[in-house]
């Protein structure tokens, strides 16, 4: 699921940026050019991919914390850089490799922790803890 978020976001963003460069500068005085930009096929496909990204992002947010989902999905930047290096044969500078390492490190940090720490209604969280405490008490009771 998180992989889907990553891939759709990376592909969508790169297509959008390609399309907007073709569409040219947008002036505040010609707002209708924003509408015209949407008709550019690159921008249109980019928007479709971003919709797919949105669906998988919403799905991830339904069972995990925002501060868990965001770093996990930032692997998309790493994916973009790797595509640039191995598919487009672009030069990836040492600074960018350092950036990739930092992002991967950050993702590693958050992936080791719990996916969900909050609840929509704060008052339910203690109940959950109580349930766990009860389970622990029961299991330790069985042990003794």
Partner 1 sequence: MKHLYTWGAILAIVLASVIGDILLAHAMKQVGDIHALWRRSGLWSVIGRILTNSNFFFGLMAMTVAFFSLLFALSWGDVSLVAPAAASLTFIGNAFAAKIFLHEKVDRRRWIAAVLVAGGVALLAG
Output the CA torsion 108→97→89→38 (10° steps): 70
> What 3-state DSSP class applies to 1?
coil
Between 119 and 137, CB nearer to partner 1 = 119
Q: How far apart are CA 142 and CA 144, in angstroms?
A: 5
Can residue 113 be called a binding residue for partner 1 (CB under 8 A)? Answer: yes
Residue 83 makes CB contacts below 8 A (sequence gap 6+) with 10, 14
Give me the least distance between CB of 66 and partner 1, in Å please: 4
Q: How far apart are CA 91 and CA 85, in angstroms?
A: 6
Helices (H), 2-123: 2-23, 32-39, 41-63, 66-73, 75-86, 94-111
Between 94 and 141, CB nearer to partner 1 = 94
Can residue 48 be called a binding residue for partner 1 (CB under 8 A)? Answer: no
Can residue 77 be called a binding residue for partner 1 (CB under 8 A)? Answer: yes
How many residues bind to partner 1 according to rule CB under 8 A?
50
Q: Which of 2, 5, 10, 81 binds partner 1 (CB under 8 A)?
A: 81
The residues binding partner 1 (CB under 8 A) are: 13, 16-17, 20-21, 23-26, 34, 37, 57-59, 61-63, 65-71, 74, 77, 80-81, 93, 95-96, 98-107, 109-110, 112-113, 117-120, 122
């Amino acid at each position: 699921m998180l992989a889907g978020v990553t891939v759709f976001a990376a592909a969508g963003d790169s297509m959008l940026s390609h399309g907007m460069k073709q569409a040219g500068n947008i002036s505040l005085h010609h707002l209708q050019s924003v509408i015209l930009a949407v008709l550019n096929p690159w921008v249109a496909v980019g928007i479709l991919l971003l919709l797919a990204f949105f669906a998988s992002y919403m799905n991830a947010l339904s069972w995990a914390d925002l501060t868990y989902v965001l770093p996990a999905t930032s692997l998309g930047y790493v994916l973009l850089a790797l595509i640039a290096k191995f598919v487009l044969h672009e030069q990836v500078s040492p600074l960018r490799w350092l950036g990739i390492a930092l992002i991967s490190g950050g993702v590693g940090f958050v992936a080791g922790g719990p996916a969900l720490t909050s609840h929509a209604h704060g008052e339910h969280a203690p109940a959950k803890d109580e349930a766990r405490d009860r389970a622990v008490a029961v299991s330790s009771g069985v042990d003794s």
